[in-house]
């Protein structure tokens, strides 16, 4: 996954790249370490946010991420270690007025929002539905080589798959 996101960031021309991880999980530490290694191998810096404490979905954690994001050079591609962290990064961008994906491109590293059934469900949404989420936060599904997909469309597609 780290390789795909690093490659996708480079293909999109991002010179500023960051990893938003979760220090509590060894897989997140490994993913962030490998991602940073790949980015530094291209001669760029990889900024990191890896809190050691967990405040699930709390405003405090989103505020901390917002402060970190505000201090990063822009435009920046941010690789979030899992889906919840991706949602927190998007919330933090809204909180401090950072445009997604123009100023902060958010790339998710989880698997619960990514997969063939979801990709097919997003593709089945009519164009007017996709347009209704503009302007709004978008997520790039690097592993699927997709363009930026509106977060609202992902949620709608996920809910349709779940029969909600």
Q: How many structural domains are present in the chain?
A: 1
pTM of the model: 0.68
DSSP state of 146: -
For residue 163, is pLDDT > 90? no
Q: Read off the CATH number of the domain in which 10 is found.
A: 3.40.50.2300
Distances (CA, A) of 135 to 26, 77, 101, 107: 36, 18, 10, 18
For residue 99, is pLDDT > 70? yes
> Mean pLDDT lowest for which of 18-27, 96-105, 115-124?
115-124
CA 117 – CA 98 distance, rounded (Å): 31
DSSP state of 108: E
% of the chain exceeding 90 in pLDDT: 35
pLDDT tens, position by position, 129-140 = 777 777 666 666
Contact of 17 with 47, CB cutoff 8 Å:
yes
Range of the structural domain that residue 41 is part of: 2-161
């Amino acid at each position: 996954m780290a390789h795909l996101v690093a490659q996708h960031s480079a293909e999109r021309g991002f010179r500023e790249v960051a990893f938003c991880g979760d220090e509590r999980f060894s897989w997140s530490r490994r993913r962030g370490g490998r991602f940073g290694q790949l980015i530094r191998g291209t001669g760029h810096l990889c900024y990191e946010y890896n809190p050691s404490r967990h405040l699930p979905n709390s405003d405090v954690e989103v505020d901390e991420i917002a402060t970190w994001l505000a201090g990063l050079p822009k435009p920046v591609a941010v690789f979030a270690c899992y889906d919840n962290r991706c949602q927190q990064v998007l919330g933090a961008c809204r909180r401090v007025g950072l445009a997604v994906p123009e100023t902060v491109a958010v790339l998710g590293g989880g698997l619960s929002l990514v997969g063939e059934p979801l990709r097919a469900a997003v593709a089945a949404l009519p164009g007017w539905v996709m347009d209704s989420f503009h302007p709004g936060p978008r997520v790039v599904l690097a592993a699927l080589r997709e363009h930026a997909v509106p977060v609202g469309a992902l949620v709608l597609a996920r809910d349709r798959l779940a029969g909600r």
